[in-house]
């Protein structure tokens, strides 16, 4: 028997692969397992709480059968106020006529001394060399000086004001008529004499006029007079011009 010949009755041991059994899957080691990524958990957002003083509107009552359901009422916060209607135009009111009250009533309401309603009141005033006799009678404010009006007798505003000053201070310029007889001196002296005479006559008419008159010195006699001329001089103080030679 030669080497090239192979015996037929000898079988060769070859690995046999079963056809019906599946191949086992490779096992993954436990320590090398990678955990699956977990999805992030969403945090629950708390719902906003309603204020304690706000109450939920009560449900509208159910309408009975056969009637239309009432319209839902909007909540108070959503109600839009209706535009205000224009105010009606006020009726034109005519001003009431002004009724002038007598001076006595006005003085009583203001708390001033009240002028007497009747009587004749005399007063004598002096200033420099002028003498004035004054007579007051309750009236409407007429002033006569030597039977002439005050604007006609005195042309200067300062002198006209001096005659009325005592009446203006006591607020009686419309309560008395003034009649004056004056003589002597000039217009400045006569106006000062009349002012003093009117003040003294007012004091006799009502003693309550004294504080107002005394405050303005209308009851004080002005004693200033012209100083006399001196012997050997041109005037009271003026001397003649001196000449040495």
Q: What is the pLDDT of residues 6-62, one digit of tens each?
A: 444 444 454 454 445 555 555 544 455 455 556 555 565 555 565 555 455 555 555
Q: Is 233 helix (H, G, I), strand (E, B) or coil?
A: strand
Positions of E strands within 40-156? 121-127, 130-138, 143-145, 148-149
Query: Cβ neighbours of residue 46 under 8 Å, at least 6 residues apart?
Result: none
- Report pLDDT for 148: 96
Of 142, 136, 150, 144, the C-alpha closest to 203 is 136
pLDDT band at 63 (very low <50, low <70, confident <90, very high): low
- Report pLDDT for 118: 85
**Which contiguous run of DSSP H or E holds residue 176?**
strand 176-183
pLDDT band at 3 (very low <50, low <70, confident <90, very high): very low
User: Mean pLDDT across the stretch 78-103?
Assistant: 66
How many other CB atoms are there within 10 angstroms of residue 55's CB atom?
8
19 vs 135, more confident: 135
Residue 190 pLDDT > 50: yes
Of 212, 117, 110, the C-alpha closest to 168 is 212
Positions of E strands within 23-147? 121-127, 130-138, 143-145
- Of 19-33, 112-126, 217-231, the one with minimum mean pLDDT is 19-33
- Report pLDDT for 135: 96
Beta carbons of 184 and 130 less than 8 angstroms apart: yes
Residue labelled with tokens 């005659």 = 163
Beta carbons of 196 and 185 less than 8 angstroms apart: no
Distance CA(175)–CA(140), nearest Å, equals 5
pTM score above 0.85? no
- Report pLDDT for 18: 46
Residue 159 pLDDT > 60: yes
User: Mean pLDDT across the stretch 106-114?
Assistant: 68
Beta carbons of 149 and 155 less than 8 angstroms apart: no
Residue 5 pLDDT > 50: no
pLDDT band at 115 (very low <50, low <70, confident <90, very high): confident
Percent of the chain with pLDDT over 90: 51
pLDDT band at 116 (very low <50, low <70, confident <90, very high): confident
- 130, β-bridge pairs: 127
Percent of the chain with pLDDT over 70: 58
Of 146, 148, 178, 185, the C-alpha closest to 163 is 178
Distance CA(193)–CA(181), nearest Å, equals 11
């Amino acid at each position: 028997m030669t080497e090239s010949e192979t015996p037929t009755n000898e079988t060769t041991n070859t690995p046999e692969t079963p056809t019906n059994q599946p191949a086992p899957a490779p096992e993954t080691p436990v320590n090398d397992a990678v955990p699956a990524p977990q999805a992030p958990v969403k945090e629950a957002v708390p719902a906003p709480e309603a204020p304690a003083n706000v109450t939920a509107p009560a449900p509208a009552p159910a309408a009975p059968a056969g009637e239309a359901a009432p319209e839902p009422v909007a909540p108070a916060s959503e109600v839009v106020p209706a535009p205000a209607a224009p105010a009606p135009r006020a009726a034109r009111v005519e001003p009431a006529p002004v009724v002038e009250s007598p001076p006595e009533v006005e003085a009583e309401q203001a708390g001033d001394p009240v002028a007497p309603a009747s009587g004749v009141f005399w007063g004598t005033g002096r200033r420099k060399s002028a003498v004035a006799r004054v007579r007051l009678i309750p009236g409407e404010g007429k002033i006569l000086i030597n039977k002439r009006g005050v604007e006609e007798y005195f042309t200067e505003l300062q002198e006209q004001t001096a005659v009325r000053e005592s009446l203006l201070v006591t607020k009686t310029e419309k309560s008395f008529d003034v009649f004056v007889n004056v003589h002597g001196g000039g217009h400045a002296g006569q106006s000062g004499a009349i002012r003093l005479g009117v003040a003294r006559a007012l004091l006799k008419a009502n003693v309550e006029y004294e504080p107002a008159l005394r405050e303005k010195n209308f009851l004080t006699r002005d004693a200033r007079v012209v100083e006399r001329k001196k012997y050997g001089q041109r005037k009271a103080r003026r001397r003649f011009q001196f000449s040495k030679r």
